[in-house]
Structure 1
Amino acid sequence: MELLESGGVLLEIGLILIIGYLFGNIANFFKLPRVSGYIVAGIIMSPSLFSIIDKDFLDKSSVITHASLSIITFLIGSSLSFDKVKKLGKTITFITIGEAELAFLFVTVAMFGYLFLTQNYELSMLVALSLLFGALASPTDPTATLAVIHEYKSKGTLTTTVLGVAALDDATGIINFVLGYSIATAIISGKSLSIPHIVYEIFFQIIGAVIIGIIMGYLMHLLGKFAKERKEVVTVTIGILFITFAVANIIGVDELLATMTAGVTLVNIDKENEKFKEPLENYIEDVIFTAFFVIGSAFLNLKVLIQYLPVVIVYVTARFLGKFSGVFIGGHISNAPNKVKKYLSFALFPQGGIVIGLSLIAYQNPEFSSVGLILVNIVIGATAIHEFLGPLFSEMALKKAGEIQKK
């Protein structure tokens, strides 16, 4: 490993891209999505196994993951033109509310039952911890699903619904986390619950991110008028996205919702929006996906997964049942097509880095000092399962729905 240390950051990034590329090809050889190969590569290269990616690199890798997420969420947003989603607006809204809230409810109840039977926590801590797990269950990581959609050139009602739900899911995830975390903190601390503070926090997080995204989307549109060549468009697009992510972070609003909103804004105000998306999808996207999934998977610790496997399985199972039930009920109310009701929940299975970040907020709260580490480790263990099975479930859902174009 001395060679790796002396090679520095560039050697590690080079190995991440090349080994990720090779494992992506191996995954394709076995008829699996490329992203599955990236995830396996990351786990093998992680500090918990062969340490090809060391812990120091991971500790400083946020700039790569943030850059990747800003581009990925922009691409999700730029797939949501109003013309495309208008006829599915009712379906997307009801399904998002159903799957997010029932995932919250199912996980809260399931985790309370499991912890009550297996642990000796006080009742107040049991309720608070269960609420935290429930709050973390709502968000979906659309990155793996988007990677599969782009790899197989998927098009159709299910594909559009997935992207629409993924866009709204970030907002509902914020609402549920702020609610669950605030109630849990009030229960443990014994303080009264501040409803105005909760409302303000939700409003600030969501509206603030949307405003930033709209402004930056318009700015990208204006600067794009002066960019005549493709390389200039790429410079403008990436520059604006990085600034959007950073400004949202500085202000303290949701960065992913801001960059996603920039994409939604651009696609609906610029008739030539393809000139912004096309270079990213054709030339940069594969590098971004490879780096993001290899590095993200390197955080996953198989020892942690094994140690907390029973409770991780309870969390993962309850979350999926909540998503499945919510999709079915929301789809039934909105008269969604059968293939959406049957398969959408599988495409919403992935859950990644954002929930680890949210769990760290609870971990850093002194009120949860006795259970914070357990919470983080269970979330990391669940992420390992979600990220590995997520691409496989997404491919299956899109294939069953008959929306995969690439054979």
Structure 2
Amino acid sequence: MLLSIALIFLLGMSFGKIFQKFGLPPLLGMLLTGILLGPYMFNLLDTTILSISAELRQMALIIILVRAGLNLDIYDLKKVGRPAMLMCFVPACFEILGILLLGPKLLGLSLLDAAILGTVIAAVSPAVIVPRMLKLMEEGYGTNKSIPQMILAGASVDDVFVIVLFTTFTGLAQGGTIDMIQLVNIPIAIILGILVGIVVGLGLSQLFTKFHIRDTIKVILILSIAFLLVTLESWLEGIIGFSGLLAVMALGATIHQLKVDVATRLSLKFSKMWSGAEVLLFVLVGALINVDYAINAGLVAIMIVLGSLIFRIIGVYISLLKTNLNSKEKIFTAIAYTPKATVQAAIGGIPLAMGLASGEIVLTVAVISIVVTAPLGAILIDKTYHKLLVKD
């Protein structure tokens, strides 16, 4: 296991730097490292690491979402208003609609199987988007119109919305019926997650005011509570909807509202933690990629992924109607809403594990979506933001 950890960090950082030298996102090198080390290539990773891969990737995601919350100003988000809310579900709905139209024709799927595939593909990747939006906020690009903040918030809720739909459709495919309670759980999960995050953030802010606590201890406290909030989501599953990841982000945003200077210092510490967590996340995502599946799926799977992105982009433009964003800013927002990685890696294999007939093709297209959109989206964001957004 120690050897596996050493290989993940040493090779992940090395390949990341090599790709960066050629003007490409480091995550490409990290994904490649995972593919090479993973069970489908040279199989150099210990099975213990692979067995806890989902938990390790979730920890990395929590770190970047805490950092996002600590940088998120609610007043900036309020300035955006309606478009921020629409970005939470409209683009995802359009992408699912695209899969419903394309899946039966190109892959011979039933409408239900196409709906399952749509919910797997429709989620954007916070792991790709969040660090880039934070970079834009630090550099002042698009912040006057709160564009990075809108994308940050929308991407987080987008994932909750899609995962609940995925659970509903896979339950239906196993012989169940559409449970209205599950659909009602979508707004409940979002609202309850935000409320619990705010309450915890208020409590932590009071604690930091009354007692002198070193920033390092504050980081440990916040991270431990964030882990508990995400665990709470699994405990409440089947009882009431609750989004642990949204609670984590709301926690950080509440601290930012009440203790700006503390939030700024803590954000720097979480930024340093992300340097290691990023390597772990993307190398382990890469290790899930079955190259044979990707090759065998070929052109049809790529057409499905690219076709669904067109529908997503239409959804983004509809969400941005009657806003003060100009055409360049709308183009950038659409680009920023394309990368996929973490959710697809987390749920792409579930239909196959359930024994669904469409399981293999769902996993294959999920893998293709990661391989195509994660690097493409990251490159386009990195290369276009200074041309399409105004620096404040």
TM-score > 0.5 by shorter chain: yes
Query: Is the Cα contact below 8 Å between 2:65 and 2:130 reproduced in 1?
Result: no
Within a 5 Å distance, the mapping from 1:130-279 to structure 2 comes to: 130-149=114-133, 153-157=138-142, 160-179=146-165, 182=168, 185-186=171-172, 189=175, 193-195=178-180, 197-225=181-209, 226-252=211-237, 253-272=242-261, 273-279=263-269
Aligned position for 1:284: 273
In the alignment, the residues of structure 2 paired with residue 100 and residue 256 of structure 1 have an alpha-carbon distance, to the nearest angstrom, of 18
What's the CA shift string for 1:91-126, capped at 9, x where partnerless?
32344444222112112211122123xxxx6xxxx1
Could you tell which deviates more after superposition, 140-149 or 63-72? 140-149
Query: Is the Cα contact below 8 Å between 1:43 and 1:297 reproduced in 2?
Result: yes
Sort the Cα spacing of 1:354 and 1:180 in 2 relative to 1 into closer, same or farther, 3 A: closer
Within a 5 Å distance, the mapping from 1:105-124 to structure 2 comes to: 105-116=97-108
> TM-score if structure 1 supplies the norm length?
0.84
Sequence identity percentage = 20
Shift, 1:61, TM fit: 2.4
What's the CA shift string for 1:217-267, capped at 9, x where partnerless?
223323333344332222222222222222223223333222222222222
In the alignment, the residues of structure 2 paired with residue 101 and residue 109 of structure 1 have an alpha-carbon distance, to the nearest angstrom, of 12
The unaligned stretches of length 5 or more in structure 1 are 1-8
In the alignment, the residues of structure 2 paired with residue 162 and residue 348 of structure 1 have an alpha-carbon distance, to the nearest angstrom, of 11
In the alignment, the residues of structure 1 paired with residue 51 and residue 300 of structure 2 have an alpha-carbon distance, to the nearest angstrom, of 27
Sort the Cα spacing of 1:361 and 1:49 in 2 relative to 1 into closer, same or farther, 3 A: closer
The unaligned stretches of length 5 or more in structure 2 are none
Query: Is the Cα contact below 8 Å between 2:338 and 2:377 reproduced in 1?
Result: yes
Aligned position for 1:386: 373
In the alignment, the residues of structure 2 paired with residue 247 and residue 169 of structure 1 have an alpha-carbon distance, to the nearest angstrom, of 21
Shift, 1:361, TM fit: 4.4
Query: Is the Cα contact below 8 Å between 2:126 and 2:342 reproduced in 1?
Result: no
Sort the Cα spacing of 1:234 and 1:27 in 2 relative to 1 into closer, same or farther, 3 A: same
Aligned residues: 384
Aligned position for 2:31: 39
In the alignment, the residues of structure 2 paired with residue 66 and residue 218 of structure 1 have an alpha-carbon distance, to the nearest angstrom, of 24
RMSD: 2.8
Sort the Cα spacing of 1:61 and 1:114 in 2 relative to 1 into closer, same or farther, 3 A: same
Query: Is the Cα contact below 8 Å between 1:96 and 1:327 reproduced in 2?
Result: no
Shift, 1:317, TM fit: 0.7
Aligned position for 1:5: none
In the alignment, the residues of structure 1 paired with residue 163 and residue 178 of structure 2 have an alpha-carbon distance, to the nearest angstrom, of 15
What's the CA shift string for 1:42-79, capped at 9, x where partnerless?
22222222223244421222332121111111122222
Within a 5 Å distance, the mapping from 1:245-394 to structure 2 comes to: 245-252=230-237, 253-272=242-261, 273-281=263-271, 283-365=272-354, 368=356, 370-394=357-381
Query: Is the Cα contact below 8 Å between 2:84 and 2:153 reproduced in 1?
Result: no
Sort the Cα spacing of 1:129 and 1:35 in 2 relative to 1 into closer, same or farther, 3 A: same
Sort the Cα spacing of 1:192 and 1:290 in 2 relative to 1 into closer, same or farther, 3 A: closer
Aligned position for 1:76: 68
